[in-house]
Chain A
Amino acid sequence: SAVISQKPSRDICQRGTSLTIQCQVDSQVTMMFWYRQQPGQSLTLIATANQGSEATYESGFVIDKFPISRPNLTFSTLTVSNMSPEDSSIYLCSVEEGWGQETQYFGPGTRLLVL
C-alpha cells in the first residue's frame, strides 16, 4: 500500500489561530479524504479532497472552517481555521488506492490540542 506521511505530527495552538496540516503520499492516488477523531470517539469524515476542484464536505463541516487544497495526486492540505478547544482532535488523511476499490489507508495522524 501507499506510504502516507502527515505534518505536523502534533501541535499545541492558541484559540483563534489556524493550523495547516499536510498529507503527502508516495504515489499518485485518485481519492484522498480527511477525517477527525475526537478523544475516545470513532472517525468522522470531514471531506473528500478532489484534485483540481473544490473539496466535498460532509454535513456539519464547512469550507470556511476547514479549507482543503489538493493541488496534485500526491498531496493535500487541511487547514483548521479560527481554532477553539473543541477542535482538539486527531486529524487523519486517508487515500484510496485503485479506482472503485473503496479500501482506504490512513496517514499517521496529526494530534492537535487547542488551548
Chain B
Amino acid sequence: RKEVEQDPGPFNVPEGATVAFNCTYSNSASQSFFWYRQDCRKEPKLLMSVYSSGNEDGRFTAQLNRASQYISLLIRDSKLSDSATYLCAVTAGNEKLTFGTGTRLTIIP
C-alpha cells in the first residue's frame, strides 16, 4: 500500500460547482498535512496546511480525519483558474514530506 494515496482523476467539473477530493495516508504517526496546487509545468505551491480542527481559506476548506486516516479538500464555487493538479503531502514529524500522486482537476466553462 502506498504511503499517501489520491484518486488521480481527472475530475471535470462545471464552473461554479463544488468539488471535493480525499487523500488517504497509511502511517498513523503522521503529524502534519498539507495541500499543494501544481499548475502544468510549474512547481507545487502551498495551498493550505490542514489542522486537526479543519481550516478554511475563502472557497477552500480542508479537513483531517485521524480515525480514518484521510484528509480532504473542498472547493466551493469553482473557477476556471482552479484547474490544476492538487497534491496532498504528509509528514511523520521528521520534516520529510511524502506526496500523493495528485488529483487532476479541470473546471469546464
Chain A residues proximal to chain B, CB less than 8 Å: 1, 31, 33, 41-45, 48, 58, 92, 94, 96, 100, 102-109
Contact = CB atoms under 8 A, between A and B. Distances in A.
A102 B31 CA distance: 10
B102 A45 contact: no
B43 A31 contact: no
B95 A31 contact: yes
Dominant SS among interface residues on chain A: strand
Nearest to B32: A102
B95 A108 contact: no
Nearest to A109: B43
Given A33-B96, A44-B99, A109-B42, 5 more contacts: A42-B87, A92-B44, A102-B95, A105-B46, A106-B44
A44 B2 CA distance: 13
Interface string B71-109: 000000000000000010101010111111110000000
B102 A42 contact: yes
A45 B101 CA distance: 13
Given A45-B97, A103-B34, A108 B43 contact: yes
